[in-house]
């Protein structure tokens, strides 16, 4: 989990909150049904109230961006859903919006995190085996007054090592958090665009009729300004 997103983790399964974010661009991802789904990249996401006033966060772990804002995510991918089409104009990179949304949790599969978890376990197994070897070596050369008691203590120490490893593994979560069910999307700030660039409007009926063809055009159009 990205370290800025612990706030989203806290808001998971809670009431929807308001967020402010910067629009980057539209693209597509492939879902489980192998269908192309339009998604939006948002950056510099922070909490606000329903009037778009920034909510001050005071946790020592809160992450600050270059402007000193306590952001809950440096970037998020969200679905391009019906509420987007109610905006009065198409967005271009750098435009800012605020909206209401819920937090969703999703599983992640990252080789680096899996390796960290595996390394923790392998190290624990190594330490467990060393505990036994030390105990066995001492037992061979020394007469123990209470063999069973020493054996039980050794096994308890081994169990504690593995228990600690499992706890450390659990801290490396294979989940992350994002935003879902966006609603009440409003424009906070529009960047200036060249006179020869036409923003255009979103059209939900076109999207319903044309699907990917229309969302692909929106994706290309959202990036067109960067080429100028």
Is pTM, for the whole model, over 0.85? no
Which residues sit opposite 78 in a β-bridge?
40
Helix (H) or strand (E) holding 97: strand 96-107
Which whole-number Å values give the CA distances from 74 to 21, 24, 41, 69, in the listed order?
9, 12, 10, 11
Cα(227)–Cα(194) distance, integer angstroms: 12
Nearest to 22 by CA among 82, 66, 56, 60: 66
Cα 182-28-73 angle, rounded to 5 deg: 50
Q: Based on the number of CB atoms within 10 Å of its own CB, is 27 exposed (0-12), middle (13-18) or buried (19 or more)?
A: buried
Confidence of residue 1 (pLDDT cuts 50, 70, 90): very low
DSSP 203-214: -HHHHHHHTHHH
Condensed to tens digits (0 to 9), the pLDDT of residues 159-202 reads 999 999 999 998 887 888 899 999 999 999 999 988 888 888 99
Q: How is the chain split into domains, by residue range? A: 3-107+176-227, 111-171
Q: Are 100 and 18 in contact (CB under 8 A)?
A: yes
> Which pLDDT does position 225 carry in this prediction?
72
> Which pLDDT does position 70 carry in this prediction?
79
Sign of the torsion formed by the C-alpha atoms of 34, 107, 15 and 73: negative
| Least confidently predicted of 33-37, 163-167, 224-228 | 224-228
Sign of the torsion formed by the C-alpha atoms of 71, 74, 77 and 82: positive
Condensed to tens digits (0 to 9), the pLDDT of residues 42-92 reads 999 999 999 999 988 777 666 777 777 778 888 999 999 999 999 999 999
> Which pLDDT does position 221 carry in this prediction?
86
> Which pLDDT does position 3 carry in this prediction?
53
For 31, other C-beta atoms within 10 Å of its C-beta total 11
């Amino acid at each position: 989990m990205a370290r800025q997103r612990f706030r989203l983790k806290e808001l998971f399964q809670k009431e929807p909150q308001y967020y402010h974010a910067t629009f980057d661009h539209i693209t597509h991802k492939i879902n489980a049904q192998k269908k192309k789904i339009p998604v939006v990249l948002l950056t510099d996401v922070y909490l606000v109230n329903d009037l778009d006033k920034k909510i001050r966060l005071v946790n020592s772990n809160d992450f600050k961006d270059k402007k000193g804002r306590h952001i809950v995510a440096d970037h998020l991918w969200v679905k391009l859903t019906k509420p987007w089409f109610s905006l009065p104009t198409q967005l271009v990179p750098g435009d800012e919006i605020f909206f209401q949304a819920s937090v969703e949790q999703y599983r992640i599969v990252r080789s680096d995190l899996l390796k960290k978890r595996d390394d923790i376990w392998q190290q624990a197994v190594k330490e467990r085996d060393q505990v036994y070897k030390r105990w066995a070596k001492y037992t061979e050369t020394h007469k123990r007054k209470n063999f069973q008691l020493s054996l039980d203590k050794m096994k308890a120490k081994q169990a504690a090592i593995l228990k600690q490893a499992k706890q450390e593994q659990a801290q490396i979560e294979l989940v992350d958090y994002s935003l879902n069910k966006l609603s009440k999307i409003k424009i906070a700030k529009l960047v200036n665009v060249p006179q020869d660039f036409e923003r255009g409007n979103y059209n939900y009926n076109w999207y319903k009729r044309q699907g990917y063809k229309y969302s692909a055009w929106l994706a290309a159009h959202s990036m067109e300004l960067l080429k100028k």
